[in-house]
Amino acid sequence: MSNIDLSVEFCGVRFLNPFILAAAPPTDNGEMIMRGFEAGWGGAVCKTMAVEKEPVELVYPMISGIHFNGKPLMGMENIDLISEHKVNEWIPWIREIKRNFPNNVLIASIMASSKEDWQELVRRLEEAGVDMIECSFSCPHGMPERGMGATIGQSYELTKRTAAWVKEAAKRVPVIIKLTPNVTDIAYIAEAVKESGADGVCAINTVKALLGIDINTFAPIPTVDGKGTFGGYSGPAIKPIALKCVAEIAQKVDIPISAVGGISNWQDAVEFLLAGAQNVQICTAVMQYGFRIIDDLKDGLTNYLKEKGFSSPKDIIGRALPNIVAHQQLSRQWKVVSKINQDSCIKCDLCFIACRDGGHQAIERNEERLPSVDEEKCAGCGLCQAICPVPATILLVPKIHS
Amino acid sequence: MIQTVTCLTFPLALQEAYRCLYCYDPPCMQACPVHINIPRFIKAITTGDFKSAYYLIRKSNPFPNTCALVCPVEKLCEGNCVLGTGAGKPVSIAKLQQFVVEKYKYPWEINVTAPKTYKVGIIGAGPAGLAASERLLEAGIRVSVFDAKVEGGMMKLTIPAFRLPVNVVEEEIKELKTLGVSINSGVYIGEDIEKLLDSFDALLITVGLSGSRKLGIEGEEAKGVFVAEEFLARIKKGERLQLGDTVVVVGGGNTAMDSACVSKELGVRRVTVIYRRTWNEMPAWERERIEAIKAGVEFIFLASPKKFILDRKGKLKEILCQEYTLGENDSSGRRRPEPLEGKEFCISATTCVLALGQVLEFKPYFGDLYVNIERGVIKVDEQFMTSIPGVFAAGDAVNGGRTVVEAIAEGQKAGDFIIKYLESKKGGASGE
């Protein structure tokens, strides 16, 4: 595992590796963060805190999950709020964390309802020794009703104004703004952050969702005394949404990005780096499996970089961006055709029925149920490959014109 | 000891059900003789629609729990599961079926829209006869089932209890009775009922193979020598047979394995299977052989009893065996066992069980019916009709002895053909 340096720089701060614990329950006190650092996480964002007078009244249960094919976890929804621990509780923890882990990056996430509160939080936390400030303009539930969280992040003006307040107060440390995906154009809001003078963005916070409805009681899930509310959706299900948001910001706005949203393994992390993120934050996967997943993340990323001939994660940041283009720029000359590997095919015939009822009726079966593609009829749409249960059994190969 | 298949717990069943790919034109369903819609019932488990799961199974099979326990699924549904390709593990379809029918049993009803006046007599209350009777009832036809022994046939008589508990079959038969199947047990056709054809519009013979093959050698009638079917039936009934400490089972089929395993279950110290051919030619299913080995059964191949040697009281003491070698292939495609001149040995035995296969026990059942018999089974056409018009036959008595599920499938098909036959007869008779 030698000769690969996993360290990255973000807004002028050096991280031992690009893996950061996101502002969430795994970082809700000093002891947890120190265990995360002990495990090997490059950085941690404290669960969002407020000034002492800000009420935080939690409800229970606050978390529900959606399984996929019987296994947890495709997605998770929470109706949690910010940390119950106020800034005065956090300050001694911050001092202790930094004393024990001076080389790990500690980021304080904050939320406030007035200019005075925003700026007071920044001053007190800077003084306590945090390395960076993250502002939550993005919590989709609980806080917006009070003019906080996503209410700010959904408005260009409020984002720009509030970010500027925070940046103005921060004398020593960089300021990043955590954005909500629950907007029409996230790059437009990232532009407001850039305009404000803040140093970077973090994208994305949870996706506003209704996880489910109990079909017996008609109660929303999670259910609090028979009632429920819209909450924040996270986990693998939202990864494609987050990836799109990060790539969109990276293409349109010249600002450093910390990526978050559904990242569960090193492959996800690589994709986000390729889409322009400088580092990645992780929450749901840690809530599911614990801090220990950092070993898998670091090993996987190291092996990948080595195998591809890179020496640092920095080498791959944004490398996919030139390939992400507008739909009208895609080649109309490019034709592919589906090829079925009949040796690895297990003859479930799902490709046959998918193509017949959802495609171009281009797959035939022989008397032994073995499917094959009629290349004349195959449009190369990709449906058969998308639904085939055996990896690498259906390939889309370029069609050669005679 | 050999364990009865235990029912899956809910979490395990769910996990297993999720493995099913929901194949198109599913090979498991094709391989199932009664064509249960396996992917649909498994998908219904994953969505919690147990009612649909149960009905999808029950619709195709009146003995769903029995079949879940005794079907040779490794050759049928599971053997054809696409996930079993290569070194893969097929979906445990039988266990999922058992899970549904044991834990989510719903009332089953037959809704007759147009009752008919026909009466059909069915001789033999085994799986084929009872499956046929359900089909006929569904069509509004009245059915009387007769059985010389007990209702349920071999399912109840000879399949060992560790493989198929008696109450499983009894409950399934009870349901059929509730639906309107009337069963008269202990009735010997030809002795108790005359002129059957005058009393019924059609007959179905599903008597199975209730006779046991014998060796025809000296000492075979001695005390301590049993035929397997009788041996298994008496033990299943709870009779305490004095087996002694050395049981020798003759034969290589499932019944031989069952007899050996049951003997081990009863605590017999030494149980040996003697078979004329070798392990490779044994007709017993893989899992039954493995169960026998696990139970500690020993095997002697290429040998067969020549003479039973008795003690002074006429009780079995030893078996004189002839050694064999394998010659050319015979008509069954297996190498023919040929005796080795002068090669003999003696093996001591307190009990000998002859599991040599079953034969049609034709005579006592239907006095005035003379249907054509060919190669030891009742000859039928592709519509399951015998040489006598209006008399049909199905199940082991026709196919030579296969599985419970195949008997059910044949019974269902025969039932459908009987309905067709009766309808066409009516059309002809009334000149319409």
Interface of A with B (CB under 8 A): 69-71, 346-350, 352-353, 365, 369, 389
Tokens representing A107 are 């980021």
Q: Do A347 and B27 touch (CB under 8 A)?
A: yes
Could you tell me how many helices (H) and strands (E) chain B has, helices first?
Answer: 15, 17
CA distance B181 to B347: 49
Nearest Cβ partner for B82 among A347, A352, A365: A347
The domains located in chain B, with CATH, are 10-103 (1.10.1060.10), 119-209+360-430 (3.50.50.60), 211-357 (3.50.50.60)
In the structure, what pLDDT confidence band is assigned to residue A218 with cuts at 50, 70 and 90? very high
Q: CB of A13 within 8 A of CB of A318?
A: no
pLDDT, one tens digit per residue, over A240-295 is 999 999 999 999 999 999 999 999 999 999 999 999 999 999 999 999 999 999 99
What's the confidence (pLDDT) of residue B368? 53
Reduced to 3 states, what is the DSSP secondary structure of residue B56? helix
What sign for the dihedral angle of Cα A115, A119, A122, A128? negative
pLDDT at residue number B430: 41
Coil, helix or strand at residue B60: helix
CA distance linking residue A105 with residue A134, whole number of Å: 12
Chain A interface test: which of B82, B83, B91, B96 (most A C-beta within 10 Å): B82
Q: What is the distance between the alpha carbons of residues A49 and A390, in angstroms, rounded to a whole number? A: 47
Helix (H, G, I), strand (E, B) or coil at A43: strand
Of A169, A248, A240, A241, the C-alpha closest to A201 is A248
pLDDT at B210: 86
Burial-class residue B181 by CB neighbours within 10 Å (0-12, 13-18, 19+): buried
Dig out the tokens for B332 from the structure.
């069954």
List for chain A the helix, strand, coil content (%; round to 5). Answer: 35, 20, 40
By Cβ distance, the residue of B15, B24, B88 closest to A70 is: B15
* Per-residue pLDDT, B367: 54
Rounded to a whole number of angstroms, the distance from the CA of A205 to the nearest CA of chain B is 31
How many other CB atoms sit within 10 Å of the CB of residue B18? Answer: 17
Q: Which residue has the tokens 């593609």?
A: A373
Residue B121's pLDDT is: 95
Q: What is the 3-state secondary structure (H, E, C) of B127-148?
A: HHHHHHHHHHHHCCCEEEEEEC
B298 close to B248: Cβ distance less than 8 angstroms: no
ipTM attached to this prediction = 0.91
Measuring CA to CA, how many Å separate A225 from each of A59, A228, A230?
10, 8, 15
**pLDDT for the residue numbered A330:** 97
Q: Bridge partners of B18?
A: none
| The token pair that represents A101 in the structure block | 């882990």
Residue whose token pair is 């290589």:
B252
Q: Report the catalytic residues of A.
A: 139
A369 contacts: CB under 8 Å, gap ≥ 6: A347, A349, B25, B27
- Buried b / exposed e along B74-89 (16+ C-beta atoms within 10 A): eebbbebbbbbeeeee
**Are A349 and B22 within 8 A, CB to CB?**
no
Closest CA to A77 of A206, A181, A216, A265: A206
Confirm if B247 and B262 have CB atoms less than 8 A apart. no
Maximal C-alpha separation, chain B:
75
- Interface of chain B toward chain A, CB-CB under 8 angstroms: 14-15, 17-18, 21-25, 27, 46, 82-83, 85, 88
Which helix (H) or strand (E) element contains residue A20? strand A19-21
Question: What's B123's DSSP letter?
Answer: E
pLDDT digits (tens, 9 = 90+) for A331-374: 999 999 999 999 999 999 999 999 999 999 999 999 999 999 99
Q: Is A134 exposed, middle or buried (0-12, 13-18, 19+ CB in 10 A)?
A: buried
Query: How far are the Cα atoms of A54, B240, B265, B266 from residue B244, in angstroms, in the given order?
Result: 86, 12, 13, 10
Q: Does residue A162 surpass a pLDDT of 90? A: yes
Contact call for residues A257 and A201 (beta carbons, < 8 A): yes
Q: How high is the pLDDT of residue A1?
A: 46
Asked if B23 lies within 8 A of A389 by C-beta distance, the reply is no
| Beta carbons within 10 angstroms of residue B367's beta carbon | 16
> Residue holding tokens 């326990």?
B69
HSE-up (13 A, CA, CB side) for residue B304: 19
Q: Closest Cα to residue B268, out of B290, B292, B286?
A: B292
Pairing of strands B335-348, B316-329: antiparallel
Give the integer Cα–Cα distance in Å for B192 and B121. Answer: 14
Please answer yes or no on whether B27 and A369 come within 8 Å at the CB atom.
yes
Please tell me the distance in Å from A92's CA to the nearest CA on chain B.
46
pTM: 0.92
Record: contact B88-A346, CB cut-off 8 A: yes
Residue B45's closest chain A neighbor by CA? A70
Give the model's confidence band at A2: pLDDT under 50 very low, under 70 low, under 90 confident, else very high: low
Q: Which of B205, B186, B209 is nearest to B196 (CA)?
A: B205
The CA distances from residue B108 to B58, B61, B164, in Å, are: 8, 12, 22
Average per-residue pLDDT for chain A: 96
Which of A148 and B22 is assigned the larger pLDDT? B22
CA distance B215 to chain A (A): 44
β-partners of residue A395 are A339
Cα A255 from Cα A159, distance rounded (Å)? 15
Domains in chain A: ranges and CATH: 8-323 (3.20.20.70), 331-398 (3.30.70.20)
Residue of chain B nearest A72, judged by CA positions: B15
CA dist A138 → A150, A183, A203, A205, A224 (Å): 4, 10, 9, 6, 23
Residues of A with Cβ-Cβ distance to B15 under 8 angstroms: 70
DSSP string, A338-398: EEE-TTT-----HHHHHHHHHS-S-EEE-TT--EEE-TTT----SHHHHH-SSTTSEEEEE
Q: How far apart are alpha carbons B35 and A358 in whole angstroms?
A: 27
Instruction: pLDDT tens for chain B, 432 residues: list them.
Output: 666 678 999 999 999 999 999 999 999 999 999 999 999 999 999 999 999 999 999 999 999 999 999 999 999 999 999 999 999 999 999 999 999 999 999 999 998 878 889 999 999 999 999 999 999 999 999 999 999 888 998 899 889 999 999 999 999 999 999 999 999 988 877 655 556 778 899 999 999 998 899 999 999 999 999 999 999 999 998 999 999 999 999 999 999 999 999 999 999 999 999 999 999 999 999 989 999 999 999 999 999 999 999 999 999 999 999 999 999 988 878 889 999 999 999 999 999 999 999 998 766 555 556 788 888 899 999 999 998 899 999 999 999 999 999 999 999 999 999 999 999 987 654 433
Q: What is the CA radius of gyration of chain B?
A: 23
- The nearest CA of chain A is from the CA of B98 a distance in Å of 20
- How much is the pLDDT for B397? 93
User: In the prediction, which pLDDT does B292 show?
Assistant: 96
